[in-house]
């Protein structure tokens, strides 16, 4: 009898431990492929139609940059997993007002669960290291903590992950990757943030753009290295690792900075990456062919479910930027032309995803027929059919 009681008690403790561990390791990403649904445009389809498009493309992970209720309602019952955003201009308020943070989570998260599968809150975007947002650097951690505490009070911290996305401006000496550290002016804000994320098991979220790196340093970077095409790559003497593509090098630079700061076990997730299909005169690499090549090769890379040279066992996960071209986005022409889809839900170019409307973009059949492109593109197109089946 005592043995039986001991076994029952042991199993109960084991189950409790497993539940506790699962709660500590809440994950906001299924698989390896996700997409950013930006909406700075005046010609986009309604959210319920967008949800149909995403389901047709079998893209389950979606990020938005706010908590617009029309999107949350439009995604209800779809099974799509959504990370919502707290805009930068709300960060200071959330850092100083606990009640406002609780109300925000109640109104924009709790009220829509479980029908809308909100799995995360992204607190601001590219705040640290960005001079334009320097007044928010000291507010970011407070906002993160208050929103996390709100999810705890509402009993949803086991399903809603808190994070924030960074950009390359937080790093210093990122070449070769092993030399990378956090900038001195950023570290005093970054380290307490990483301490907290380490406690709640949130990843380090990085917006990484080989397109931008190449655009700013085309005299030093081989475009094939940026596009996952055959090239000589680079060699990092410190780690004795070879890199055949720029994105892997950017990710491992982040891992090196995290390790230098004392956070070797923290996972890096790519929250934005993409390639513009059109740009200004000073953006010659922003072409439809390059955008197709980058996004096709990235999709193939993610389907392999492998890590980077420095972290081969940490499967790479990425959100692509972006779902649609956004005609109202300010800045360079490239900013308006990252979309995999046009506003009418036809494809911008063919990387194997279906559209909900016929498109004037070059089809796989046209590419295979050799009517427009050479042999390399023919191989790319044929491979995409097989790739679509295995993703």
Domain ranges (residues) in the chain: 28-209+247-351
Low-confidence stretches of the chain (pLDDT beneath 50): 4, 6-8, 10-24, 363-391
CA 308 to CA 273: how far, in whole Å?
16
DSSP code at position 113: T
**pLDDT for the residue numbered 377:** 34
Structure token pair of residue 373: 């492109």
Active site residue 272: yes
Catalytic residue among 81, 267, 272, 283: 272
Catalytic residue among 49, 81, 93, 126: 126
CB-based contacts of 221: which residues, under 8 Å, 6+ apart?
Answer: 213, 214, 246
Residue with tokens 């990456």: 273
**pLDDT for the residue numbered 13:** 46
Helix (H) or strand (E) holding 149, with range, is helix 140-153
Active site residue 366: no
**pLDDT for the residue numbered 2:** 53
CB-based contacts of 350: which residues, under 8 Å, 6+ apart?
Answer: 292, 361, 362, 363, 364, 367, 381, 384
**pLDDT for the residue numbered 18:** 45
Are the C-beta atoms of 165 and 84 separated by less than 8 Å? Answer: no
CA 384 to CA 160: how far, in whole Å?
34
The CATH number that domain 28-209+247-351 falls under is 3.20.20.80
DSSP code at position 181: E
**pLDDT for the residue numbered 357:** 73
């Amino acid at each position: 009898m005592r043995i039986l009681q001991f076994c029952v008690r042991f199993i109960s403790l084991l189950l409790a431990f497993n539940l506790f561990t699962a709660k500590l390791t809440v994950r906001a990403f299924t698989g390896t492929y996700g997409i950013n649904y930006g909406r700075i445009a005046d010609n986009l389809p309604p959210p319920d139609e967008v949800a149909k498009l995403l389901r047709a493309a079998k893209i389950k992970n979606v990020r938005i940059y706010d908590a617009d209720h029309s999107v949350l309602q439009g995604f209800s019952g779809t099974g799509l997993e959504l990370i919502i955003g707290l805009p930068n201009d709300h960060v200071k308020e959330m850092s100083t007002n606990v009640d406002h943070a609780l109300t925000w989570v109640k109104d924009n998260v709790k009220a829509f669960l479980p029908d809308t599968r909100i799995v995360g809150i992204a607190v601001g975007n590219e705040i640290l290291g960005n001079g334009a947002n320097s007044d928010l650097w000291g507010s970011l951690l407070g906002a993160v903590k208050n929103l996390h505490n709100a999810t705890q009070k509402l009993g949803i911290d086991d399903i809603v992950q808190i994070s924030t996305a960074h950009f390359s401006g937080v790093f210093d000496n990122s070449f070769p990757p092993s030399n990378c550290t956090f900038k001195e002016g950023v570290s005093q804000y970054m380290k307490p943030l990483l301490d907290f994320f380490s406690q709640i098991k949130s990843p380090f979220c990085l917006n990484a753009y080989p397109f931008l790196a190449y655009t700013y340093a085309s005299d030093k970077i081989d475009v094939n290295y940026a596009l996952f095409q055959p090239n000589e790559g680079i060699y990092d003497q410190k780690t004795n690792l070879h890199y055949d593509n720029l994105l892997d090098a950017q990710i491992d630079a982040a891992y090196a900075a995290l390790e230098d700061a004392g956070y070797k076990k923290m996972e890096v997730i790519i929250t934005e990456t993409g390639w513009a299909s059109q740009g200004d005169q000073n953006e010659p690499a922003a072409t439809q062919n390059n955008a197709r090549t980058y996004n096709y090769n990235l999709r193939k890379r993610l389907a392999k479910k492998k890590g980077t040279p420095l972290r081969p066992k940490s499967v790479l996960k990425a959100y692509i930027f972006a779902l649609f071209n956004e005609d109202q986005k300010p800045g360079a022409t490239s900013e308006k032309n990252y979309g995999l889809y046009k506003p009418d839900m036809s494809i911008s170019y063919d990387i194997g995803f279906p559209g909900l409307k016929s498109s004037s973009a070059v089809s796989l059949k046209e590419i295979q027929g050799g009517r427009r492109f050479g042999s390399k593109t023919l191989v790319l197109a044929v491979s995409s059919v097989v790739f679509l089946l295995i993703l």
